[in-house]
Structure formats: C-alpha cells, structure tokens
Amino acid sequence: MYRLEEETEADWWEVEALYDLCFAPGRTALSSYRLRDGVPMVAPLCLTLRDDDGTLAAVIRYWPALIGEKDVLLLGPIAVHPTRQGEGLGGLLINESLAEARRLGWERVLLVGDAPYYSRFGFRKLEGVELPPPTNPDRVLGLELKAGAWAGVKGRVTKAS
C-alpha cells in the first residue's frame, strides 16, 4: 500500500536525493532546468508516493512555463526508486497529477522525454515548440488537457514570471 501526498518543504532533501539516485550526475545542467530556476513549483501537482514504512518510492514535479503568452505546464522530473521500478508507480503519479491538473484548469502539458513511454498517457511529439538547446526536438512532447489546447501554440518555451 502506498500513500500519495502533495510534496512538502520537509520532503525536499529526500526528493532531491531520489532524483540524484535516478538521474545522471549533472542533471541540473539540463536545459529544462533553466526553465525552473527561480520559478515556484505548481505545488498541488508535485506529489510524493511513500510505502507503509514511509520510504519514498516515487515523486513527480510540475512547473509553470510560457510559450508566447500561452501558459503551459512543464512536467518533470518524475522518478521512481530503482527497487520499485516496474510496479506502475510512475504511471500512477502521471495519471493522478494529470487528472488534478485538468481539474485545476490547466490546458496543456509539456515534457522532455521518451515518446514510446509517454505516448501511453496521450503525449505526442510537438512541432514548432522549442526548448533551450541542446534539447533534442524529438523528445519535446505535449498533451492536451482541453481539446485543441496546442492548436497554433508554437515558439520558444520561456520561464514563467
């Protein structure tokens, strides 16, 4: 059994340690992190998943961003502890957080990731949406939480202010 909760300030170090464990050294040098620098997370969508013992099993975070004047929700990072991978925890976090994002009125979600994995949640490659280099354009994926939300949305992704 797992407990799904909104990430709190007290979780920060443990969440960061899980990201460090799951991602390569230098993860914060990735271009997507430039969009997060100095921008508050979208707290209701930043979730932790803990087992019965309170051990952190998985986490997901979201950030606001802009494409022109259009708000976009930037998903990531998401991480599942290596000993818990293959249990569907990442999918659980994605589905729960996307449902909440839709409920909160967000219209579109953006991420940098592997299309074969994220396509099961409805994400598709975006054309004409640019993240800071050196982001691989084939990994720029989007999901509409409202029908037509990505129509005509093109250009460089920038930090929310």
The model's pLDDT over 73-109, given as tens digits with 9 standing for 90+, comes to 999 999 999 999 999 999 999 999 999 999 999 999 9
The model's pLDDT over 112-159, given as tens digits with 9 standing for 90+, comes to 999 999 999 999 999 999 998 888 999 999 999 999 999 999 999 999
Place of tokens 């993240």: 131
25 prior amide bond cis, ω within 30: no
Topology (CATH level 3) of domain 2-159: Aminopeptidase (3.40.630)
Measure the CA–CA gap between 112 and 117, rounded to whole angstroms.
11
Q: Kind of pairing, strands 108-112 and 70-80?
A: parallel
pLDDT of residue 134: 83
